[in-house]
């Protein structure tokens, strides 16, 4: 079975095109397969497994299985990689694509240079801000700078859904955050019934922030597209940023715009690292 190793700002994936080939041996153990393939010592190594499938309502359907075997609704870095793959290798020569996800149909627009994909601008849709839409347990309403106790410490969190849940915390220095301790505690906090992605944000100016991410089901990642979008929404809601922001992540920078139509637009690169063959089970 052929695969492609791809990444968006270091957030890396194993991409398998199931339009062109079948998953060997049936798909009952996809979570287990994702855990094995994403293992960085005993597998290919990745933050997640991305499967490209046929769709009845879009060009393709993108399924994302995290490195721990759980399924994600949407991933901004993965969708840029899928759009680049489809244009350069998948036979879909469209500058504007429609890609179905568990969070709905997303619309990537390719930025081309000499026939190659230099960057991808994705319409990520409108954020969902009501507590039940995150989802987060508690009284109805929006979660903006709400106190949350973790390990005896009180943090002020803002919750945003970009089709997947995000918990955003503004901190003085992101490099001082003990990500390996706080990340999993917040991800699995009882108030988040489906767990949550976590963004620690340092505001540099009204149009620039620095972010570290603890990704649900994957742990610390070098970038998170939906997390960058959630960060800008939280920045506006807390009056820390404007609506057009450069989001600096460990793997690089994403440009996020929260436009007047209430949609967020994310622009960033996508890269193919290598392709190979996964041995089929005997």
The set of catalytic residues is 75, 224
Q: What is the DSSP string of 67-97?
A: TTSPEES--HHHHHHHHHHHHHTSS---SB-
Reported as type and span, the H/E element at residue 53 is strand 48-53
Give the Cα separation of 79 and 50 in Å (integer).
9
End-to-end CA distance of the chain: 13
Q: Which of 133, 31, 14, 11 is nearest to 76 (CA)?
A: 11
Residue 100 tokens read as: 């179905």
DSSP 9: T
Q: Determine how many CB atoms are found less than 10 A away from the CB of residue 58.
A: 17
Backbone angles phi, psi at 174, to 5 degrees: -65, -30
Exposure of 52 by Cβ count < 10 A (0-12 exposed, 13-18 middle, 19+ buried)? Answer: buried
């Amino acid at each position: 079975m052929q695969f492609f190793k791809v990444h968006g700002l270091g957030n890396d994936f194993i991409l398998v095109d199931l339009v062109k080939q079948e998953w060997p041996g049936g798909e009952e153990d996809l979570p287990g397969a994702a855990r094995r393939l994403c293992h960085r010592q005993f597998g290919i190594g990745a933050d997640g497994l991305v499967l490209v499938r046929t769709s009845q309502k879009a060009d393709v359907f993108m399924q994302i299985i995290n490195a721990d075997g759980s399924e994600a609704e949407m991933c901004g870095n993965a969708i840029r990689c899928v759009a680049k793959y489809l244009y350069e290798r998948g036979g879909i020569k469209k500058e504007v694509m429609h890609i179905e996800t568990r969070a709905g149909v997303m619309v990537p627009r390719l930025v081309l240079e000499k026939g190659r994909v230099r960057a991808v601008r994705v319409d990520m849709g409108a954020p969902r801000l009501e507590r039940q839409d995150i989802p987060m347990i508690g009284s109805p309403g929006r979660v903006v700078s709400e106190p949350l106790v973790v390990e005896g410490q009180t943090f002020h969190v803002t919750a945003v859904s970009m089709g997947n849940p995000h918990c955003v915390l503004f901190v003085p220095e992101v490099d001082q955050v003990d990500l390996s301790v706080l990340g999993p505690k917040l991800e699995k906090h009882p108030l988040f019934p489906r767990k949550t992605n976590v963004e620690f944000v340092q505001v540099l100016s009204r149009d620039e922030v620095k972010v570290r991410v603890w990704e649900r089901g994957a742990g610390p990642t070098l970038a998170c597209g939906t997390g960058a979008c959630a960060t800008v929404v939280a920045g506006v809601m807390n009056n820390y940023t404007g609506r057009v922001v450069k989001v600096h992540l460990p793997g690089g920078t994403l440009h996020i715009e929260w436009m007047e139509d209430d949609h967020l637009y994310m622009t960033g690169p996508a890269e193919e690292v290598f392709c190979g063959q996964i041995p089929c089970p005997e």
